[in-house]
Chains A and B, each alone.
Chain A
Amino acid sequence: MSKRFLPYVINLGLLVAAVILSLAIGSVFIAPADLWEILRNWLTHRPLPAGLETYSFIISDIRLPRTVLVLLTGAALGGSGTAYQGLFRNPLADPYLIGVASGAGLGAVLAMSIRWPYSFWGLLAVPMSAFAAAMLTVLLVYIMARVGQTVPTTNLILSGVAFSAFATALTSYLIISSQGEVRRALGWLMGGASQSSWQTVLAILPYLVIGLGVLLMNGHALNLLQFGDDQAQQLGLPVMRTKTVLLLAASLATAAAVSFSGIIGFIGLIVPHVMRLWWGADYRRLLPLSIMAGGGFLILADILARSVMRPQELPVGIVTALAGAPFFLWVLRKSKNQGYW
């Protein structure tokens, strides 16, 4: 019994450690003892001792919402990356590499160029438009890459790259041709949580609950799909319906992550891989573990992005790409001789 829960305990421990680090590290360092003190006073509604009020404000209004947004973004990318890998039966599928993230980015910018200021409708229209564009991209990439019943790695990545380039070019054109906050959009596109607030956290939450919730219920279906459509159906799975639902849910999670945190690559590649290496291939376990690990991993990347060039911030997408691209090449070499996938 304890062996069954060990992966969850370890992943949760890593996630909590990442959150604590993220709250502690920044322009001023807040020692874990002070963090504990603040947390205890929040919970018991006692007035804070002198000297801790500023820290308390930094945590509640700046670092905590940012950490939570980064956690949710990483969770969305980890979960949808796992789902795409399972759906395409391909170890190199990742929301970024197959072009879905760029497609969602295009959709988001399209909505922003119409209504850039963050009004209520802006908060709703941006993710919706990103979602529609993400779905369109993933369908086109899939259709272009498919050979009979399979999606070969090279085809998938190549058509993903092509669509990604096309969407990125259109996005750049939209940003340059529209007046207004171009700089902000550029920073956002490269992936950064610099616009985090409790409002964005609340706005992203419903999409993630739906998207990741649906994915979590389909772990067993993803297991069956690894045997191919024929066998999955012969084992009792309504294949077409399940695949459609999974594609919708994964794209919704990706679109939400992109809408609020920009385009962050390689999380959906690295995280499921490491989890599969550590804890095995069963998607019923792999999905929740990748969601947890995705959150933790992106928090760590965000800490790096904040501290490397202090007081300036790097977009976190740069950090994940610097770590992810070499990892991608390693997996590419490894997947030639099959290994554990």
Chain B
Amino acid sequence: MEIRALKIEALTVFYGKRCALQDISLEIQRGQVMALIGPNGAGKSTLIRAASGVLPIQSGKIRTNGDEFTSLAPMQRARCLAVVPQAVALPPAFTAWETVLMGRTPYLNFLGQTSDADEAIVRHALNRADALDFADRRVGELSGGEQQRVLLARALAQATPILLLDEPTAHLDMQYQVALMHTICQLAHEDHLAVMIAMHDLNLAARYADSVALLVQGRLEAVGNPNEVLTPERISSAYHLPVQVVQHPFQKAPLILPGE
């Protein structure tokens, strides 16, 4: 069945006794980029981990169409949804090629043998993530930005309709941030993926995302298009910092400026 969207319904997650996420309801449509924003510790990474099925859920549901996502086997889930984690503590000894090839896991037999078709998909994914040039180098030798592109390529090799990214732009230089956001927008708008991307940079979110979800202390404060969500009142109270929001002089996007 064709997957149309990822639906998160009344999701609640506990870390021990602490409530990390409370009653979150979201829908990520295919063809759209949703930016997940909020201060540190608001639950952005937790939401991505829970949505990908690696965290136990206290209550609520995660669905793709009618399917209850959490009841699927890991292999079936990995064919629907791919995650781009932050590039920290990666095993350094694998080459970029070997790393991306592991994205084909949900389609392999029990011995993990790959075919020519898998290799073609991997090559395409590396190319798409602009990582083909260093495919044969070891991951440990790559810069942070290059490692992040390898992880994006690995997620693309999974060939899933849903893509979740956990702060992929966090440690990148400006030009790579913009290049990565361009690629991600293409994936949503041209390849028709449902994309959710957790990020720090509010202006990057405002400029590239089709919708923005604001998390504060495990609750969903607001969700909608950037102009609706990114108001000075909301951001000031979420980040405990006075801000001003003006219209971007050249683009149709809000521009957030810290300070009075």
Contacts and interface: CB of A to CB of B under 8 A. Distances in A.
B94 A223 contact: yes
A220 B111 contact: yes
A224 B105 contact: yes
Contact of A233 (B53, B82, B108, B112): B53
Nearest to A341: B93
Interface stretch (B72-80, B181-189, B191-199): B72-80
Contact of B82 (A217, A228, A234, A281): A234
B89 A228 contact: yes
A282 B97 CA distance: 12
Contacts of A117: none
B105 A281 contact: no
Contact of A284 (B81, B92, B112, B158): B112
Interface stretch (A63-71, A126-134, A236-244): A236-244
B54 A234 contact: yes
Contact of A217 (B74, B93, B103, B110): B110
Interface in A269-293: 276, 280-282, 284
Contacts of A284: 111-112
B60 interface: no
B110 A233 contact: no
Given A235-B105, A235-B158, A238-B74, A229 B91 contact: no
Contact of B92 (A231, A235, A341): A341
A237 B105 contact: yes
B221 to A, nearest CB: 26
A42 interface: no
A238 B73 CA distance: 8
A221 interface: yes
Given A220-B111, A238-B73, A276 B105 contact: no
Contact of B75 (A89, A217, A223, A238): A238
B90 to A, nearest CB: 7
Nearest to A242: B74
A227 interface: yes
Contact of A220 (B75, B85, B112): B112
Nearest to A231: B85
A216 B82 CA distance: 27
Contacts of B54: 229-230, 233-234
A276 B94 CA distance: 11
A235 B103 contact: yes
Interface string A248-265: 000000000000000000
Interface string A179-222: 00000000000000000000000000000000000000101110
Contact of B111 (A217, A230, A235, A280): A217
A338 interface: yes
A233 B50 CA distance: 12
B98 interface: yes
Interface string B106-118: 1010111000000
A203 to B, nearest CB: 29
A231 to B, nearest CB: 6
B94 A236 contact: no
Contacts of A29: none
Interface-centre pick from A228, A238, A276, A281 (highest chain B CB count, 10 A): A281
A334 to B, nearest CB: 13
Nearest to B88: A228
A224 B82 CA distance: 14
Contacts of A226: 91, 94
Nearest to A281: B93
A223 B91 CA distance: 9
27 contacts: A217-B110, A217-B111, A220-B112, A223-B102, A223-B112, A229-B54, A230-B49, A230-B54, A230-B85, A233-B74, A234-B53, A234-B54, A234-B78, A234-B82, A234-B85, A235-B78, A235-B103, A235-B106, A235-B154, A235-B158, A236-B77, A236-B78, A238-B73, A280-B93, A284-B112, A338-B92, A340-B92
Interface of B: 49, 52-54, 73-75, 77-79, 81-83, 85, 89-94, 98, 102-103, 105-106, 108, 110-112, 140, 154, 158
Interface of A: 89, 217, 219-221, 223-224, 226-231, 233-239, 276, 280-282, 284, 338, 340-341
